[in-house]
A and B are shown apart, each in its own frame.
Chain A
């Protein structure tokens, strides 16, 4: 399996996800949309598995490869939310966001080869990145809900139910970023001798984590405003984007003393 075949798998999966999402509005029963979504997930996973085999390493090294997992986990998060809380619109939201990341991969493919530098050859590599991508997908879905809430405002009939769903997803997502971060710390100790070095990527992981902790603690107060809570979620997701790929464009990324001493 190579990237040249990605377009077929991606389009097949998107077609199934899109049909499932459209039918979710129409059908009373959740079985058909769910099955279509699962079928799409299987096709997409098949591509990832094939890529894994042909690269002889987990496809988690490059940005494009992590986007691949993100595109997979978004419909997973959407499906779980749909099954649990019955929101018909969530599947179309997550499919759309997944499509965006698939498009980025199609239009701007990375260079993929078998090389995996020694530091990445660790049993922690796959769980660390996969759990992060999973949490990013859940928190991406949460961000869509927050945007939905803030744009629809007063027209939302059951704000309490939306808040309950949001809390549940944020707890799950924050639990996963905590797991990902701590696995990263244990791995860093094994690979580089220290569990936390305040490297820009680590710092932004901490920033993201703190932002979601702020949401969790803010929501503990019964008097807190729903709108403020949703705004916190959007800010937190911006932090997450910086952590994921934005750090590469920050001055701190060029962590070279010489650049700054002149």
Chain B
């Protein structure tokens, strides 16, 4: 660090002023937070976000034109303003990452400690956080604008992609967050639904309707585990083992016991009364999967044979007792895929058949339709599908920024740092 005789606040400014200004932003945020509380997200909803955005951009441009050549303008577009601002965002983000967050609008009371008035349980809508974002956006915007006024070289492409990209994505994300709508919709097989429920359970009519033609759920093959009968704990306790069914005739070692698969009924009915359990093939709704297995216990006791099943909403599950303390059991199967075949209708009378599954949403009338859930009490026999509908009018803006940043990252990777800096 160079030793200078410069007094603080005397131009040209350096890191000291940067730290003080960043701290000032943080403190102003804190005072606003203590007096006003968290920013209500709805406050940012259209058209106010448009107005704030327009004002911000105008202010940015005016500042650029007026202060570009002044010491303050130079300083605000430099590393010595950037670093303290980034460090402040880093600090607030660390709090955000450590302290559990409570969603906005949730009715639960916040704890009565110091973090509540500071807004740290809802960091992303707290004044210090939002002000810091806008301060960074100011530096970012001014830096980008100033870059355009000097002689351009090819390296500047990377600079614009990264800085303008982040500016667009961040501003779009901050301003657009309040305009995003998320609704859930439950539809039964064969029925049509055009109303969605918001987070508070209020119903809303939509410009589109979903008809559920069929719902399909696919499961992974059944698994076998050895459990402690009393506690239901899987064994060995230190590192539970499980075996996934691969075919009849296979055998495996499970927690010390040899398990051999004798018979497999993908669709079975289970009847048990008192001591007798009968398992029969049955091709109907509510049927469960059952495996007949032979277990040869550790230590050479006599083998046990019997049926194991995880049951269904219709039939009980069934265990195979190995000895006094242990049983062979079949946990619920893991879900591999679930898919809704739907017909979508719009108000204008358009119709479209579609397939919606996790990771494959469908777009209709500004709404993205997601496979969200199903009736899990019925498992694979669920005849209800739950969709989530999301509308985000600012998404295109944010994606523009994200794709610029993606390109900027490629540039950063291949071009590397500026040479001959030292």
The chain A residues found within 8 Å of chain B, CB to CB, are 109, 111, 113-119, 121-122, 160, 163-164, 167-168, 171-172, 174-176, 178-179, 182, 185-186, 189-196, 198, 200, 203-204, 206-207, 210-211, 213-214, 216-223, 225, 242, 247, 250-252, 254-257, 259-261
Scoring B residues 71 to 106 as 1 if CB is less than 8 Å from chain A, else 0, what string do you get? 000000001101100110110011011111111001
The reply to whether B100 and A118 contact each other, CB–CB distance below 8 Å, is: no
- Whether A225 and B368, one on each chain, are in contact in the complex, defined by CB atoms closer than 8 angstroms, is no
> Is A175 touching B335 in the complex (CB atoms < 8 A)?
no
- Whether A257 contacts B106 by the Cβ 8 Å rule is yes
Interface residues on chain B, number (Cβ under 8 Å): 64
Determine if A217 and B86 form an interchain contact, defined as CB atoms under 8 angstroms apart: yes
CA distance A192 to B395 in the complex (A): 14
What 14 new A-B contacts, CB under 8 Å, besides A115-B220, A251-B99? A113-B223, A118-B357, A118-B359, A119-B358, A160-B422, A176-B413, A179-B406, A193-B370, A203-B93, A242-B97, A251-B100, A252-B97, A257-B108, A259-B100
Residues of B contacting A115 in the complex (Cβ-Cβ under 8 angstroms): 220, 334, 336
CA distance A192 to B370 in the complex (A): 8
Known: A163-B422, A217-B86. A257 touches B102 (CB 8 A): yes
Chain B, residue nearest A247 (CB): B97
* Stretch in B23-31, B238-246, B297-305 touching the partner: B238-246
Contact B89 A175 (CB under 8 A): no
A108 to B: closest C-beta gap in Å? 9
Find out whether the CB atom of A214 lies under 8 angstroms from the CB atom of B359: no
Q: A257-B102, A260-B100 are in contact. Are A195 and B402 (CB under 8 A)?
A: yes
Q: Tell me the bound Cα distance from A164 to B239 in angstroms.
A: 47
The reply to whether B108 and A185 contact each other, CB–CB distance below 8 Å, is no
The residue in chain A whose Cβ has the minimal distance to the Cβ of B360 is A190
The one of A198, A207, A222, A255 that contacts B94, using a Cβ cutoff of 8 Å: A207
Q: Are A178 and B405 in contact (CB under 8 A)?
A: yes
A196 touches B90 (CB 8 A): no
Known: A191-B358, A191-B359, A207-B90. A251 touches B124 (CB 8 A): no
B421 at the interface (CB under 8 A from A): yes
* B180:A175 contact, CB within 8 angstroms: no
Q: Which residues of B contact A198 (CB under 8 A)?
A: 96, 101, 123-124
Q: Beta-carbon contacts of B336-367 to A below 8 Å, as 1s and 0s?
A: 11100000000000000000011111000000
A175/B87 in contact, CB under 8 A = no
Residues in A neighbouring B87, C-beta threshold 8 A: 214
Q: Known interface pairs A114-B244, A118-B338. Does A217 touch B220 (Cβ–Cβ under 8 Å)?
A: no
Q: A168, A176, A196, A256: which has the most chain B beta carbons within 10 Å?
A: A196
Chosen A-B contacts, 5 in total, with CB atoms closer than 8 Å, are A115-B220, A168-B416, A172-B416, A210-B86, A260-B111
A119 contacts B390, C-beta separation under 8 Å: no
> Once the chains bind, are A171 and B93 in contact (CB under 8 Å)?
no
| In the complex, chain B residues whose CB is within 8 Å of the CB of A117 | 334-335
Which B residues are CB-close (under 8 A) to A216? Answer: 417
Query: In the bound complex, what is the Cα–Cα distance between A219 and B421 (angstroms)?
Result: 9
Question: Given contacts A115-B334, A175-B410, are A193 and B100 in contact (CB under 8 A)?
Answer: no
Distance, CA A119 to CA B334, complexed state (A): 13
Asked if A182 and B421 make an inter-chain contact with CB atoms under 8 angstroms apart, the answer reads: no
* Distance of A36 from chain B, by nearest CB (Å): 27
A200 to B124: give the CA distance in the assembly, Å. Answer: 12
Is A178's CB under 8 angstroms from B409's CB? yes
B182: contacting residue among A114, A193, A195, CB under 8 A: A193
- Does A113 lie within 8 Å of B100, measured CB to CB? no
Whether B398 is near chain A, meaning CB under 8 Å from some CB there, is yes
User: Does residue B109 face the partner (Cβ distance < 8 Å to A)?
Assistant: yes
On whether the beta carbons of B388 and A193 are closer than 8 Å, the reply is yes
Please measure, in the bound complex, the distance between the C-alpha atom of A167 and the C-alpha atom of B79, giving whole angstroms: 17
Which B residues touch A175, using CB under 8 A?
409-410, 412-413
- Among A193, A220, A257, A261, point to the contact of B390 (Cβ < 8 A): A193
User: Scoring B residues 394 to 422 as 1 if CB is less than 8 Å from chain A, else 0, what string do you get?
Assistant: 01001000100110111011001100011
Residue of A nearest to B409 (CB): A178
Contact residues in B for A196 (Cβ distance below 8 Å): 173
B124 neighbours in A (Cβ, 8 Å)? 198
A207's nearest neighbour on chain B, judged by CB, is: B93
Contacts of A121 in B (CB 8 A): 337, 358-359
Q: Which residues of B contact A109 (CB under 8 A)?
A: 239
Alpha-carbon distance between A117 and B109 when the two chains are bound, in angstroms: 34
Q: B276 at interface (Cβ–Cβ under 8 A)?
A: no
Which residues from chain B contact A190 at a C-beta distance below 8 Å?
Answer: 359-361
Interfacial chain B residues near A185, Cβ < 8 Å: 402
Interchain CB contact (< 8 A) of B422 among A164, A171, A182, A189:
A164
Contact of A168 among B90, B408, B417 (CB under 8 A): B417
From residue A134, how far is it (CB to closest CB) to chain B in Å? 11
- Considering the complex, give the chain B residue whose CB is closest to the CB of A221: B79
B102 and A260 form a contact (CB under 8 A): yes
In the complex formed, the residue of B with least CB distance to A169 is: B416
- Alpha-carbon distance between A26 and B108 when the two chains are bound, in angstroms: 66
Are B83 and A218 touching (Cβ within 8 A)?
Answer: yes
Is B1 at the interface (CB under 8 A from chain A)? Answer: yes
Whether A193 lies near B368 (C-beta < 8 A) is: yes
Residue of A at shortest CB range from B369?
Answer: A193
Q: In the complex, what residues of B have CB within 8 A of residue A172's CB? A: 412-413, 416
Does B2 interact with chain A (Cβ within 8 Å)? yes
Write the chain A residue with the least CB distance to B418: A220
Contact of B90 (CB < 8 Å), options: A111, A210, A260:
A210
Task: Find chain A residues with CB under 8 A from B89 CB.
Answer: 210
Are A171 and B359 touching (Cβ within 8 A)?
Answer: no
A209 to chain B: closest CB distance in Å? 10
Among A122, A211, A218, contact of B359 (Cβ-Cβ < 8 Å): A122
